[in-house]
């Protein structure tokens, strides 16, 4: 069958549309006005019962070859129902208007076929039918209702496509999370061993072979970077799967900072770490390891983006309710665009990507840790003059 028109059957407006489409197709084929009216009326009689008493109705109008001629056909399908009595007046009247009326069951649907053979005098051919199909299916809507209906159908298709894309994205995201988790765990074990061996080798190295010492130092440097990256990947994986747990304890701020500052001096031996602390005996209720990780990430970033020998200032003071820490460097600074997205997962500015290694995870993890401690993290910067990161943590009220 060559389709020349179609419409879904949902309400009374569709009944009018079915009649008009039937008239239009019959007219374009060259049938007489009487034949057009008889065919369209028969189609309408069936469609009325389908609209009133069935669901998922669909009308398709077209032509089919029939013993060297062509037949005009209307096929109405709908979900099986016992609400349409058989026989019923509408169907019986339609049978009188068209030569062929068949009712059956196909592909899980009830199907009514109305058909009439067109005279040879119309001189129809496959080529003419194909051209007519192109003209009718590409024509403007018959009325404003059909225009709205077509627009709604397009929107529904777009929404369906959008939903399918969201499902696909969600699946891919879940696969990515699983891969990150497995890969990070598998890599972290042997990498930690290699990093530890490099540390031990450096301690045992008598330094009688400068070349070997240099190799061990480079091995230690690069395994340190890799260990840091894999642990950040593990952190992100745990965050996204809800397994990023905290073990909080109450500790005095001065004691905690003494430990942190010493570690930071070892972490950044090529920079001058300048603490400026005013802490009194304030208490913090924190996960020490996670907050140390915050300092390592922020100060490590400051060292990464500033020249060796420059100063990294760590200013910390306590208000009545919170600890305020600002880490300031003398590095390359950040553009406004980078500053607006600096805490986004995997984000790295264009200049940073071309000059500095990394995956853009450290500050994302840092922001999440601070947030989970009911704190806040902000950044400010002047390109070419350096950056400052300020985080605030609530004090523990004894």
- For residue 151, being part of any structural domain is answered with no
Q: What CA–CA distance (Å, rounded) separates 37 from 221?
A: 88
Q: What is the pLDDT of residue 244?
A: 77
More confident residue, 237 or 124: 124
> Domain check: are 270 and 383 in the same one?
yes
3-state secondary structure of 360: coil
Q: What CA–CA distance (Å, rounded) separates 344 from 396?
A: 29
Last residue of a domain, one of 186, 215, 241: 241
Chain segment 13-56, per-residue pLDDT in tens = 999 999 999 999 999 999 999 999 999 999 999 999 999 999 99
Confidence of residue 146 (pLDDT cuts 50, 70, 90): confident
> Domain check: are 41 and 114 in the same one?
yes
- For residue 362, being part of any structural domain is answered with yes
Domains identified in the chain, total number: 3
> Domain check: are 182 and 68 in the same one?
no
Residues 397, 374 contacting (CB under 8 angstroms)? no
- For residue 150, being part of any structural domain is answered with no
Report residue 24: phi and psi, to 5°.
-60, -50
> Domain check: are 258 and 373 in the same one?
yes
Last residue of a domain, one of 241, 272, 298: 241
Chain segment 81-114, per-residue pLDDT in tens = 888 877 788 899 999 999 999 999 888 899 999 9
Beta strand extents in 223-375 (DSSP E only): 249-252, 272-278, 283-286, 311-318, 322-328
Q: What's the rounded mean pLDDT across residues 211-234?
A: 79
> Domain check: are 234 and 259 in the same one?
no
- For residue 386, being part of any structural domain is answered with yes
> Domain check: are 105 and 171 in the same one?
no
Q: What CA–CA distance (Å, rounded) separates 56 from 63?
A: 23
> Domain check: are 378 and 286 in the same one?
yes
- DSSP for 114-174? EEEEPPGGG---HHHHHHHHHHHHTSPPSSHHHHHHHHHHHHHHHHHHHHHHHHHHHHHHH
DSSP state of 98: S
User: Pairing state of beta strands 386-394 and 322-328?
Assistant: antiparallel
Q: What is the pLDDT of residue 350?
A: 63
- Does the pTM surpass 0.85? The reply is no
> Domain check: are 8 and 86 in the same one?
yes
In which domain, by residue range, is 89 found? 2-139
The token duo for 63 is 């032509």
Chain segment 316-326, per-residue pLDDT in tens = 999 889 999 99
- For residue 230, being part of any structural domain is answered with yes
> Domain check: are 93 and 201 in the same one?
no
> Domain check: are 263 and 376 in the same one?
yes
Residues 243, 249 contacting (CB under 8 angstroms)? no
> Domain check: are 326 and 375 in the same one?
yes
Confidence of residue 180 (pLDDT cuts 50, 70, 90): low
| Residues, the chain | 398
Q: What CA–CA distance (Å, rounded) separates 352 from 284?
A: 35
Last residue of a domain, one of 192, 214, 241: 241
């Amino acid at each position: 069958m060559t389709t020349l028109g179609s419409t879904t059957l949902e309400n009374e407006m569709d009944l009018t549309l079915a009649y008009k489409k039937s008239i239009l197709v019959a007219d374009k084929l060259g049938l007489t006005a009487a034949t057009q009216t008889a065919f369209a009326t028969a189609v309408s009689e069936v469609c009325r019962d389908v609209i009133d008493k069935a669901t998922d109705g669909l009308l398709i109008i077209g032509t089919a070859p029939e013993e060297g001629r062509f037949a005009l056909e209307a096929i109405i399908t709908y979900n099986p129902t016992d609400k349409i009595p058989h026989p019923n007046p509408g169907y019986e009247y339609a049978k009188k208007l068209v030569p062929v009326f068949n009712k059956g069951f196909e592909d899980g649907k009830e199907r009514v076929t109305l058909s009439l053979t067109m005279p040879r005098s119309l001189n129809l051919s496959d080529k003419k039918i194909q051209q007519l199909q192109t003209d009718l299916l590409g024509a403007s809507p018959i009325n404003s209702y059909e225009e709205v209906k077509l627009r709604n159908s397009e929107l529904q298709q777009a929404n369906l496509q959008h939903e399918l894309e969201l499902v696909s994205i969600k699946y891919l995201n879940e696969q990515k999370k699983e891969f990150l988790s497995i890969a990070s765990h598998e890599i972290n074990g042997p990498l930690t061993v290699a990093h530890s061996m490099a540390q031990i080798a450096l301690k045992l190295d008598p330094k009688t072979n400068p070349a070997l010492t240099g190799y061990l130092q480079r091995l230690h440097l690069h395994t340190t970077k890799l260990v840091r990256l894999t642990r950040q990947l593990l952190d992100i994986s745990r965050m996204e799967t809800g397994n990023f747990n905290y073990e909080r304890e109450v500790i005095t701020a001065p004691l905690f900072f003494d430990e942190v500052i010493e570690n930071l001096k070892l972490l950044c031996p090529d920079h001058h770490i300048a603490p400026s602390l005013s802490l009194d005996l304030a208490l913090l209720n924190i996960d020490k390891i996670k907050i140390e990780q915050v300092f390592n990430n922020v100060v490590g970033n400051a060292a990464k983006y500033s020249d060796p020998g420059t100063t990294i200032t760590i200013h910390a003071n306590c208000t009545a309710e919170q600890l305020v820490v600002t880490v300031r460097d003398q590095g390359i600074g950040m553009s406004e665009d980078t500053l607006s997205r600096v805490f986004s997962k995997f984000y790295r500015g264009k200049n940073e990507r071309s000059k500095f290694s990394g995956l853009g995870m450290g500050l994302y993890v840092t922001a999440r840790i601070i947030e989970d401690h009911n704190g806040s993290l902000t950044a400010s910067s002047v390109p070419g003059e350096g950056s400052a990161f300020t985080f605030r943590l609530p004090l523990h009220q004894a």
